Amino acid sequence: MNKLFTLALAALSLTACAKQPKDMYEVDEFQTQSGKTVRFYALVHSSIRIEFDGKEIEVDPCGKLGDKTIDYSAFPKADYILVTHEHYDHLDKAAIKQLSKESTQVIMNQRSADEYGAGMVMANGEKLQLTDNISIEAVAAYNTTDGHLQFHPKGRDNGYILTLDGLRIYIAGDTEVIPEMADIKDIDIAFLPCNQPYTMTPEQLIEAARIIQPKVLFPYHYSQTDVTGIAAQLPDIDVRIRHYE
């Protein structure tokens, strides 16, 4: 397992932007096995900005959710955009276009590509080497609770395991606890969703975290769900609550 040197930097501005967004975002900083810096910006809900080795990676960028608006035109253009599935709070065509440059690779599930009209499709189980030190694996994400199966049916949507210079990051997407989680190993940082009926209850998230055993856990996609009690149930995991409402 890679040794992590972590530093939470709250409420930092996006100083790497040519134009600074007005909003301020919490930033968590980690070091990879060779000493490269990875920064995670907590934007909103399931939208994450990742900086690594001069690359910009955006996960499920969403420009407007409830009363929060993110002006992606003020962000650096993305090298990679990851979309887990086609729901409006994950697939935002306008945000993708604002973040895109000619060389941007947009990686998504088949349904998202069908709706967007472009994109590199990955199915569950597929792996992709993007650069010498960036790789990605698409993993399963689906509902298992009776009455909820229609929200995220098995085989349609993606979670992703993103590996940056050996640092393994599990971005679960919209999922409940699923058997495939037993095969997800050596995770340094995990983003697990928490809002029923669409994803997990806090109890399910705790169960998933105990299966995966990440070093650091970010509950995300939690809307109005109270996630403040999760850390006390996972004393061996560094649980960090950020503004992923």
Q: How many CB atoms lie within 10 A of CB 130?
A: 18
Contacts 24+ apart (CB under 8 A), 143-147: 143/175, 143/176, 143/198, 144/176, 144/177, 144/178, 145/176, 145/196, 145/197, 147/197
Pair 128, 135: CB distance under 8 Å: yes
Q: Say yes or no to pLDDT of 103 above 50.
A: yes
Please give the average per-residue pLDDT across 27-47, as a whole number: 97
- Domain edges within the chain: 7-239
For residue 124, give both structure tokens: 């569950």
Res. 11: pLDDT tops 80: no
Q: Is the pLDDT of residue 16 over 80?
A: no
pTM (predicted TM-score):
0.90
- Give the pLDDT confidence of 38-90 residue by residue, as tens digits: 999 999 999 999 999 999 999 999 999 888 999 999 999 999 999 999 988 89
pLDDT score for 7: 37
CA angle 190, 8, 34 (to 5 degrees): 70
- What average pLDDT does the chain have? 90
Residues for the chain: how many in total?
245
| pLDDT higher than 80, residue 9 | no
169 pLDDT above the threshold of 70: yes
Decide which of 3.60.15.10, 3.40.630.30, 3.30.450.20, 3.30.710.10 is the CATH code for 7-239: 3.60.15.10
Indicate whether 13 pLDDT > 90. Answer: no
pLDDT tens-digit readout, 112-158: 999 999 999 999 999 999 999 999 999 999 999 988 888 899 999 99
Pair of tokens at residue 63: 């420009």
